[in-house]
Amino acid sequence: MPHRFTYRVRFRECDPMGIVFHTHYLDWFEYARTEALRELGLPYIVIQDSGTTLPVVDLAVKYHESARYDDLIIIETRPLLSESKLRLTCSYRILRQADLRLLVTGHVTLCFIENGRTRPVPAPILLQQALGAGNA
């Protein structure tokens, strides 16, 4: 079961074509990721305050249909830890709530960096446990 986050499209996110400018879907991925981690019991701010940050390694997005101003949309997040525990990949689907049309699909992959270091480390144990539960 993916995590579901509902969001209202804002006027500032829409462009002269009357549709959401394409980079904002990436912002929404981040909002949904944050809420998915919170629901798993490990808010990103807790991870960060314990000295680990999660820079983005890569991402990819496919745009199927456009969201429009004031649309309510649903962002589905499926977080998955790599077998090495070195990478967290969140897969996304964005749907319009009114008609459940699929608007956007994509993924974002993050790694784990401890403060003051540059080489990635495995996911914090608490996150491994939280995601283990989430993925079970």
Residues that bind a copy of itself (CB under 8 A): 8, 10-12, 14-19, 21-23, 26-27, 30-31, 34, 43-45, 48, 53, 55-63, 66, 69-70
Q: How far is the CB of 124 from a copy of itself (least distance, A)?
A: 16
Tell the smallest beta-carbon distance from residue 136 to a copy of itself (Å): 27
Residue 63: CB minimum distance to a copy of itself, A = 5
Nearer to a copy of itself, 20 or 95 (CB): 20
Q: Minimal distance in Å, beta carbon 68 to a copy of itself?
A: 9
Residue with tokens 């993916």: 2
Nearer to a copy of itself, 60 or 100 (CB): 60
